[in-house]
Amino acid sequence: MSTMTLLEFLNARLDEDTDQARYAASMADGAEWRAEYHEVVRREAGGDRKNRQVAEGTAFGGADVARHIARHDPARVLREVRAKRRLARFALAQAAAVDAEYGCRHGADEIAAGECPDHRPEVDAGLRALAAVYADHPDYREEWAL
Ligand SMILES: [Zn+2]
């Protein structure tokens, strides 16, 4: 049975997204992913090397699926992970600011560690919204749902 906190859960999912996107990016060798008809190809930045196929969407919906895959290429996933980590830090900093003004003066790290009785990450709407992206993961808890 998992005893993960919401923040541990969120960080574990973001770490997984990062690892997989970095692996995919290493396969793409820094090239941009583009949809071309039913295929996703890697395109060298400014180069004239022949495009190489990354994925093929025909079996799952053709060009629409290829565009979806290309739109969520590793570079974008890594940007989204960075944005989600910033939003999580922002939520904790906001909670700390409120706690400093009206509460028991816990810092963001203490709030993240669950040490503040008034500002628990499990009830923070912003952190719960970020965790809800991964609601299909077996460790996700229904009580975190918005
Ligand atoms: Zn406090």
Question: Which pLDDT value is given to residue 2?
Answer: 52
* Residue pLDDT, tens place only, 18-38: 999 988 877 767 677 888 888
- Asked if 87 contacts 130 with a C-beta cutoff of 8 angstroms, the reply is yes
Mean pLDDT of the chain: 87
Confidence (pTM): 0.85
How much is the pLDDT for 124? 95
Q: Quote the ligand 1 centre to 108 CA distance (angstroms).
A: 9
What does each C-alpha distance from 21 to 12, 29, 134 come to in angstroms?
14, 12, 16
Q: Quick check: 57 pLDDT over 60?
A: no
The pLDDT of residue 125 is above 90:
yes
Return the exposure string of 61-94: e unless at least 16 CB atoms fall within 10 Å of the residue's CB, then b. Answer: eeeebbbebbeebbbebbeebeebeeebeebbee
Kindly give the distance from the C-alpha atom of residue 85 to the centroid of ligand 1, in angstroms, as a whole number: 22
CA–centroid distance, residue 101 to ligand 1 (Å) = 10
Q: Note the pLDDT of residue 122.
A: 93
Answer with the residue of higher pLDDT: 68 or 48. 68
Rounded to whole angstroms, the Cα distance separating 60 from 80 reads 25
| pLDDT confidence band for 42 (50 / 70 / 90) | confident
Instruction: Give the start-to-end residue ranges of the domains of the chain.
Output: 6-144
Two tokens, residue 9: 């859960």
- Contact between residue 121 and residue 90 where contact means Cβ atoms under 8 Å apart: no
Ligand 1 mean position to 8 CA, how many Å? 20
Instruction: Mention every residue, 6+ apart, whose C-beta is less than 8 A from residue 105.
Output: 99
In this model, does residue 6 exceed pLDDT 90? yes
Ligand 1 centroid to Cα of residue 71, in Å, is 41
CA distance 117 to 143: 18
Alpha carbon of 12 to ligand 1 centroid (Å):
25
pLDDT 10s digits, 63-85:
888 888 889 988 899 999 999 99
